[in-house]
Amino acid sequence: MQAANSTPTPEQKPEPPLLSPEEVRLRTEFYLQQRIHYQEAYYQNRVKEFDFNSSTMLVVSAVLMFLSSITSAWSASADSALLAFITAILPAFAAVVAAFRSLYQWDRQASIYQDTWFSLQEAELELEDVDYIDIDDYMMSFPGLIEKTETALQNEASQWGQIWVPTSIDPDDS
């Protein structure tokens, strides 16, 4: 009881902070560049790629159906077995392209990556504008920045079934 109320002796020095404000600032800037901005660029590139793939397959399918319609109209007036065959086969190719597009679900993947990109943008708002932030404010903002960023990335990874959460085994169940 007396030890709790006693004043610190000169031998007991308060512990210095783990990092200096300058070190926290440097780590924050490094984290922004190497973790957040790198991931943002990755997600933007993936969204562009998936949007392009989805749009391309949609256009290819539409062109095949258009050609099928033109060939069908032409084969009605021309008595050609080849045109009848092409008229029959083009919708099948269009269906294959549409099935391929559905199988890969590029729109869904682009949506997931777009949502993660937005979450990273939101996490970056945890930090004030780096041009105007006081060096001591880095100490307050850095943990929140890391937490929001890692949560956003973990949420994206969990969409793909890559997060495994171990369950505890109760010895009484056996």
What amino acid is encoded at 26 in this protein?
L
pLDDT of 5 higher than 60: no
What does the pLDDT look like over 14-57, one tens digit per residue? 676 678 888 888 898 899 999 999 999 999 999 999 999 999 99
What's the mean pLDDT when you consider all of the chain? 85
Structural domain includes residue 144? yes
Domain that holds residue 69: 20-153
Q: What is the SS3 string spanning the chain?
A: CHHHHCCCCCCCCCCCCCCCHHHHHHHHHHHHHHHHHHHHHHHHHHHHHHHHHHHHHHHHHHHHHHHHHHHHHHHHHCCCHHHHHHHHHHHHHHHHHHHHHHHHCHHHHHHHHHHHHHHHHHHHCCCCCCCCCCCCHHHHHHHHHHHHHHHHHHHHHHCCCCCCCCCCCCHHHC
**Number of structural domains, the chain?**
1
Structural domain includes residue 2? no
What pLDDT score was predicted for residue 9? 60
pTM over 0.85: no
- 9: tokens are 């002796």
What pLDDT score was predicted for residue 78? 83
Structural domain includes residue 171? no
CA angle 120, 124, 128 (to 5 degrees): 170
What does the pLDDT look like over 89-125, one tens digit per residue? 999 999 999 999 999 999 999 999 999 999 999 999 9
Structural domain includes residue 107? yes
* CB-CB contact of 29 with 131 (8 Å): no
Q: What percent of the chain has pLDDT over 70?
A: 84
Distance in angstroms (rounded) separating the CA atoms of residues 123 and 138: 14
Structural domain includes residue 159? no
What pLDDT score was predicted for residue 132? 79
Structural domain includes residue 126? yes
Structural domain includes residue 99? yes
Structural domain includes residue 137? yes
